[in-house]
């Protein structure tokens, strides 16, 4: 089972520039979470802080009792072995073939025999659909393949916590859909805690159990997906609808004057289509059910009273229709679910 | 400005300390060390030999001409061999190690840094300092020591050839003045200098390579700075070591 990640009062700034402040959240063990946010709001910085690559000025990130921000360097290195991080462009070693890249963590941290390493690596290569490309150098393959190879390398040590930095960027919609399914299947298979940073709305709508959003140097919200999907916070509605009108501007955010001017000309804007909560993806047939689903149900039903009414209604609706399914089963889904 | 320079200096020393500690941490990256050693040796041996012949020659010619004017031709050999072994040889080694090997190390680490390879390595629980920097620094140190021996020999032979053949010096006097003026500690200090220069060149190159500023152009700048900083540091350290040596070790002729 995955490990819970507790973030307490994290504040990060580069010089005078404040990235975000006082971020507190808990990634529940074994569940899939998505962090949304416009470009440049420090999502990647947040990921790198979780794993201790960047050191925020204040706050703590607790994993198994180890503080990834202020803890001892040796403990941090040990704890990192629990992580798999998929970098935005793969971050593969340019001088090694894909096979050696993916085998790297195994060769560094285990005493496995070469035949054993070969078996594990080829299994991961098959999982991400790169069979036949294992002898190529990272410079010889496309960006999408590099990303998938990066994912394979992140998975090779059976991590308890998987972090994905924009898994969709540079991928076409079909590959993004496959990747979403891959992430859910992965969660069903290894029951790891997962955090996906993205601004892709399809992934956001179909993959996570929990969602959060960064904006204006703080965490706008974090909680069960229904909370964000039913939220009427202007930032959230603007982002989910992908329209220009709202607090998010071209360069990070708009000032009050621009917002007021926009409000004057507001009648021109057509109303957003009513948002429907798309059902969450199910693991592919043949895989075990996700263990996190049952835990999440307990957890979410337990905190129901603290949630806003719209979110509560959505959750009750979901669980009323189907006792254990993560969300509404798709009407047209035949025997799949 | 001054604060920034002090901070950089502090971080450079911190890296030096971290590397010194990581040298003793298992597992030692033997394969990486051999590869780097081979690489550093292959880019420095030929230029070092080619530079040391004319260098030994000019020193022999200059010293020969001076001693001739003073009427002390019999000491030409000893004087020029001291200049070659103590000063010329470690400095030639320093220039080649930082210019040829240091720049390559800095560019390699810098491009890995901006491609996030080093971050990826840290995320996988592997320390880039232990995995990459330590073998490189040890390789530059080892090559520097061996290269220094080679440059000393080639330089001395060059000096001998030019003094005997071109200036008409006597081979016997040239050789016997070796032992009149030169002593074993001269060789020790020469090798010690080369060892320290190799360490400094490796550390500075690694430090600049690990901290490039802003993309590919930053890597180019880092390489440039690494070479310039190393040169300045090495000439300064050379001055300090020479001063200490002359104070501590009594000269043989005295």
B96-119 average pLDDT score: 90
pLDDT at B174 over 90: no
pLDDT at A274 over 70: no
Looking at residue B108, what is its pLDDT? Answer: 92
Is residue B3 assigned to a domain? Answer: no
Please calculate the CA angle B137-B111-A118 and round it to the nearest 5 degrees.
85
Q: Could you tell me if B122 lies within 8 Å of chain A, comparing CB atoms? A: yes
**Average of per-residue pLDDT values in chain B:** 88
Q: How far is CA B120 from CA A51, A100, A103, B124, in A?
A: 11, 14, 14, 6
Q: What is the CA A197 to chain-centroid distance, rounded?
A: 4
Closest partner residue to B123 among A78, A83, A92, by Cβ?
A83
Is residue B44 assigned to a domain? Answer: yes
pLDDT at A335 over 50: no
Return the minimum-mean-pLDDT range out of A272-276, A288-292, B126-130: A272-276
Looking at residue B37, what is its pLDDT? Answer: 93
Looking at residue A264, what is its pLDDT? Answer: 66
Is residue B253 assigned to a domain? Answer: no
ipTM above 0.85, yes or no: no
Is residue B151 assigned to a domain? Answer: yes
A7-17 average pLDDT score: 86
Rounded Cα distance, A11 and A26, in Å: 16
Strand order in the sheet with A17-27: A17-27, A5-14, A58-63, A66-67
pLDDT at A59 over 60: yes
Is residue B1 assigned to a domain? Answer: no
Closest partner residue to B125 among A81, A87, A89, by Cβ?
A81
* Percent of chain B with pLDDT strictly greater than 70: 99
Q: Could you tell me if B184 lies within 8 Å of chain A, comparing CB atoms? A: no
pLDDT at A155 over 60: yes
CA nearest to A151 within chain B: B120
Looking at residue B24, what is its pLDDT? Answer: 87
Half-sphere exposure of A135 (CA within 13 A, CB side): 1
Looking at residue B181, what is its pLDDT? Answer: 79
Contact B119 A89 (CB under 8 A): no
pLDDT at A330 over 60: no
Rounded Cα distance, B133 and B109, in Å: 9
Rounded Cα distance, A239 and A244, in Å: 9
Restricting to B residues 53-112, those with a Cβ less than 8 Å away from any Cβ of A are 111-112
Closest partner residue to B123 among A78, A80, A109, by Cβ?
A80
Q: Could you tell me if B113 lies within 8 Å of chain A, comparing CB atoms? A: no
What are A's interface residues with B at a Cβ cutoff of 8 A?
A: 48, 51, 53, 77-78, 80-81, 83, 85, 87-89, 91-94, 104-105, 108-109, 153, 157
State the DSSP string of B104-134.
HHHHHHHHHHHTTHHHHHHHTT--HIIIIIH
Q: If phi over 0 gives left and psi between -120 and 50 gives alpha, with beta otherwise, what is residue A191?
A: left
Contact B120 A92 (CB under 8 A): yes
Looking at residue B138, what is its pLDDT? Answer: 93
Half-sphere exposure of B110 (CA within 13 A, CB side): 27
What residues make up the domain containing B21?
Answer: 15-244
The nearest CA of chain B is from the CA of A221 a distance in Å of 27
pLDDT at A277 over 80: no
Return the minimum-mean-pLDDT range out of A269-273, A314-318, B97-101: A269-273
Closest partner residue to A87 among B111, B112, B116, by Cβ?
B116
Q: Could you tell me if B3 lies within 8 Å of chain A, comparing CB atoms? A: no
A156-183 average pLDDT score: 86
- Which of A313-317, B15-19, B125-129 holds the top average pLDDT? B15-19
Yes or no: say if B76 and B67 are a contact pair by the CB < 8 Å rule.
yes
The per-residue pLDDT for range B80-91, each reduced to its tens digit, is 888 888 888 888
* Percent of chain B with pLDDT strictly greater than 90: 31
Per DSSP (E only), the strands in A45-202 are 58-63, 66-67, 83-86, 161-165, 193-197
Looking at residue A196, what is its pLDDT? Answer: 92
Computed on alpha carbons and rounded to an integer, the radius of gyration of chain B in Å comes to 21
Strand order in the sheet with A210-215: A83-86, A161-165, A193-197, A32-36, A210-215, A218-224
Coil, helix or strand at residue B2: helix
Closest partner residue to B115 among A91, A104, A157, by Cβ?
A91
B179-199 average pLDDT score: 88
pLDDT at A7 over 50: yes
Contact A48 B112 (CB under 8 A): no
Assigned token pair, B14? 């911190």
Residue A270: pLDDT band by 50, 70, 90 thresholds? low
A156 vs B contacts (CB less than 8 Å): none
B216 vs A contacts (CB less than 8 Å): none
Yes or no: say if A61 and A50 are a contact pair by the CB < 8 Å rule.
yes
Closest partner residue to A85 among B111, B123, B126, by Cβ?
B123
Yes or no: say if A34 and A210 are a contact pair by the CB < 8 Å rule.
yes
- Angle at which helix A114-127 crosses helix A143-155, to 10 degrees, equals 130
Looking at residue A256, what is its pLDDT? Answer: 65
The residue among B193, B205, B189 whose CA lies nearest residue B234 is B193
Residue A37: pLDDT band by 50, 70, 90 thresholds? confident
Q: How far is CA B102 from CA B50, B99, B109, B163, B233, in A?
A: 19, 6, 11, 35, 13
DSSP assignment letter at A266: G
Is residue B2 assigned to a domain? Answer: no
Rounded Cα distance, A217 and B251, in Å: 68
Give the residue with greater pLDDT, B73 vs A58: A58
The per-residue pLDDT for range B27-43, each reduced to its tens digit, is 788 888 999 999 999 99
Contact A80 B115 (CB under 8 A): no
CA nearest to B113 within chain A: A91
A317-331 average pLDDT score: 58
Q: What backbone torsions phi and psi does residue A87 show, to the nearest 5 degrees?
A: -80, 160
- Which of A132-136, A232-236, A259-263 holds the top average pLDDT? A132-136
Closest partner residue to B125 among A48, A94, A109, by Cβ?
A109
B126 vs A contacts (CB less than 8 Å): 108
The nearest CA of chain A is from the CA of B112 a distance in Å of 8
DSSP assignment letter at A335: S
Residue A42: pLDDT band by 50, 70, 90 thresholds? confident
B59-86 average pLDDT score: 84
Coil, helix or strand at residue B68: helix
Q: Could you tell me if B123 lies within 8 Å of chain A, comparing CB atoms? A: yes
Q: Could you tell me if B117 lies within 8 Å of chain A, comparing CB atoms? A: yes
Q: What backbone torsions phi and psi does residue A273 show, to the nearest 5 degrees?
A: -65, 145
Half-sphere exposure of B81 (CA within 13 A, CB side): 24
Looking at residue A322, what is its pLDDT? Answer: 60
Contact B117 A105 (CB under 8 A): no
**Average of per-residue pLDDT values in chain A:** 82
Rounded Cα distance, B28 and B131, in Å: 8
B229-239 average pLDDT score: 90
The nearest CA of chain A is from the CA of B127 a distance in Å of 8
The nearest CA of chain B is from the CA of A78 a distance in Å of 7
pLDDT at B161 over 60: yes
Q: Which stretch of DSSP H or E encloses residue A316? A: helix A309-321
Yes or no: say if A102 and A91 are a contact pair by the CB < 8 Å rule.
no
Contact A91 B112 (CB under 8 A): no
Q: Could you tell me if B125 lies within 8 Å of chain A, comparing CB atoms? A: yes
| Pairs of CB atoms within 8 A across A/B | 47
The per-residue pLDDT for range A202-245, each reduced to its tens digit, is 888 888 889 988 888 888 888 888 888 888 888 888 888 887 87
Looking at residue A9, what is its pLDDT? Answer: 87
Rounded Cα distance, B161 and A315, in Å: 93
pLDDT at A16 over 70: yes
Contact A92 B119 (CB under 8 A): no
Is residue B254 assigned to a domain? Answer: no
pLDDT at B225 over 50: yes
DSSP assignment letter at A268: G
Is residue B251 assigned to a domain? Answer: no
Residue A333: pLDDT band by 50, 70, 90 thresholds? very low
Domain total of chain B: 1
Residue B104: pLDDT band by 50, 70, 90 thresholds? very high
Looking at residue A265, what is its pLDDT? Answer: 64
Residue B244: pLDDT band by 50, 70, 90 thresholds? very high
């Amino acid at each position: 089972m995955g490990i819970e990640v507790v973030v307490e009062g994290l504040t990060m700034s580069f010089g005078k520039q404040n990235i975000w402040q006082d971020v507190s959240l808990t990634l529940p063990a074994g569940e899939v979470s998505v962090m949304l946010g416009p470009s440049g709001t420090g999502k990647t910085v947040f990921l790198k802080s979780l794993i201790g690559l960047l050191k925020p000025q204040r706050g703590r990130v607790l994993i198994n009792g180890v503080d990834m921000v202020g803890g001892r360097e040796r403990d941090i290195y040990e704890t990192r072995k629990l992580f798999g991080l998929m970098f935005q462009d793969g971050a593969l070693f340019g001088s090694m073939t894909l096979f050696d890249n993916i085998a790297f963590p195994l060769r560094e941290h285990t005493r496995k025999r070469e035949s054993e390493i070969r078996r594990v690596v080829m299994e991961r290569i098959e999982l991400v659909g790169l069979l036949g490309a294992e002898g190529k150098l990272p410079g010889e393959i496309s960006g999408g393949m590099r990303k998938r190879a990066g994912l394979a390398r992140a998975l090779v040590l059976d991590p308890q916590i998987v972090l994905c930095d924009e898994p969709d960027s540079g991928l076409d919609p079909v590959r993004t859909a496959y990747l979403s399914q891959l992430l859910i299947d992965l969660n069903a298979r290894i029951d790891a805690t997962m955090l996906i940073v993205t601004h892709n709305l399809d992934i956001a709508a179909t993959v996570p159990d929990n969602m959060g959003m960064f904006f204006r140097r703080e965490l706008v919200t974090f909680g069960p997906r229904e909370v964000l999907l039913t939220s009427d916070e202007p930032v959230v509605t603007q982002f989910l609808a992908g329209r220009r009108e709202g607090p998010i501007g071209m360069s990070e955010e708009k000032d009050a004057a621009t917002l007021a001017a926009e409000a004057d000309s507001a009648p021109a804007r057509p109303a957003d289509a009513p948002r429907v909560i798309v059902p969450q993806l199910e693991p592919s047939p043949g895989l075990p059910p996700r263990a996190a689903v049952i835990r999440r149900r307990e957890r979410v039903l337990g905190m129901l009273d603290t949630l806003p009414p719209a979110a509560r209604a959505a959750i009750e609706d979901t669980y009323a229709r189907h006792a254990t399914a993560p969300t509404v089963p798709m009407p047209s889904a035949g025997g799949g679910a | 400005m001054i604060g920034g320079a002090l901070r950089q200096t502090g971080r450079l020393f911190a890296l030096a300390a971290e590397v010194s500690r990581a040298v003793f941490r298992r597992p030692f990256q033997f394969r990486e060390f051999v590869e780097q050693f081979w690489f550093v040796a292959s880019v420095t041996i030929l230029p070092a030999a080619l530079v040391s012949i004319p260098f030994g020659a000019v020193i022999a010619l200059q010293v020969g001409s001076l001693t001739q004017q003073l009427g002390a031709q019999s000491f030409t050999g000893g004087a020029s061999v001291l200049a070659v072994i103590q000063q010329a040889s470690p400095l030639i080694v320093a220039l080649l190690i930082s210019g040829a090997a240091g720049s390559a190390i800095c560019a390699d680490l810098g491009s890995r840094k901006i491609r996030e390879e080093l971050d990826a390595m840290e995320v996988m629980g592997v320390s880039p300092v232990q995995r990459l920097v330590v073998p490189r620094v040890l390789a530059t140190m080892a090559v520097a020591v061996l290269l220094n021996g080679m440059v000393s020999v080639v330089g001395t032979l060059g000096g001998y050839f030019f003094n005997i053949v071109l200036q008409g010096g006597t081979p016997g006097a040239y050789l016997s003045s070796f032992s009149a003026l030169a002593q074993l500690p001269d060789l020790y200090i020469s090798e010690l200098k080369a060892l320290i220069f190799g360490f400094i060149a490796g550390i500075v190159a690694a430090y600049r390579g690990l901290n490039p500023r802003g993309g590919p152009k930053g890597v180019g700048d880092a390489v440039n700075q690494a070479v310039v900083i190393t040169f300045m540091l090495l000439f300064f350290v050379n001055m300090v070591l020479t001063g200490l040596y002359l104070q501590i070790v009594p000269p043989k002729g005295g």
